[in-house]
Amino acid sequence: MSAPQTTDLPSASRRLIADAVRRASHPHGPAQLLSFAIIGIVCTVMYALLYALLRRQCSPLSANILALIPTMAVNFLANRSLTFRAAHGSLARQATSYLVAYLIGLGASSGFFAILLAILKPHSVTLETAIGILAGLAATVVRYILMARWVFVIPRDSRNPLEQQAQHP
**Rounded Cα–Cα distance for residues 37 and 140 (Å):** 10
**Rounded Cα–Cα distance for residues 96 and 146 (Å):** 12
Going by C-alpha positions, the residue among 18, 11, 17, 10 that lies closest to residue 165 is: 18
On whether residue 123 sits in a domain, the answer given is: yes
On whether residue 20 sits in a domain, the answer given is: no
On whether residue 105 sits in a domain, the answer given is: yes
On whether residue 148 sits in a domain, the answer given is: yes
Q: How confident is the model at residue 162 (pLDDT cuts 50, 70, 90)?
A: low
State what percent of residues in the chain have pLDDT above 70: 75
CB atoms within 10 A of CB 91: 11
Count of the separate structural domains present in the chain? 1
pLDDT at 46: 96
* Domain of residue 128, residue span: 29-154
Q: How confident is the model at residue 62 (pLDDT cuts 50, 70, 90)?
A: very high
* Residues in CB range of 73: below 8 A, 6 or more apart: none
Q: How confident is the model at residue 141 (pLDDT cuts 50, 70, 90)?
A: confident
**Rounded Cα–Cα distance for residues 97 and 150 (Å):** 8
**Rounded Cα–Cα distance for residues 163 and 23 (Å):** 10
pTM of the full structure: 0.62
On whether residue 59 sits in a domain, the answer given is: yes
**Rounded Cα–Cα distance for residues 159 and 161 (Å):** 6
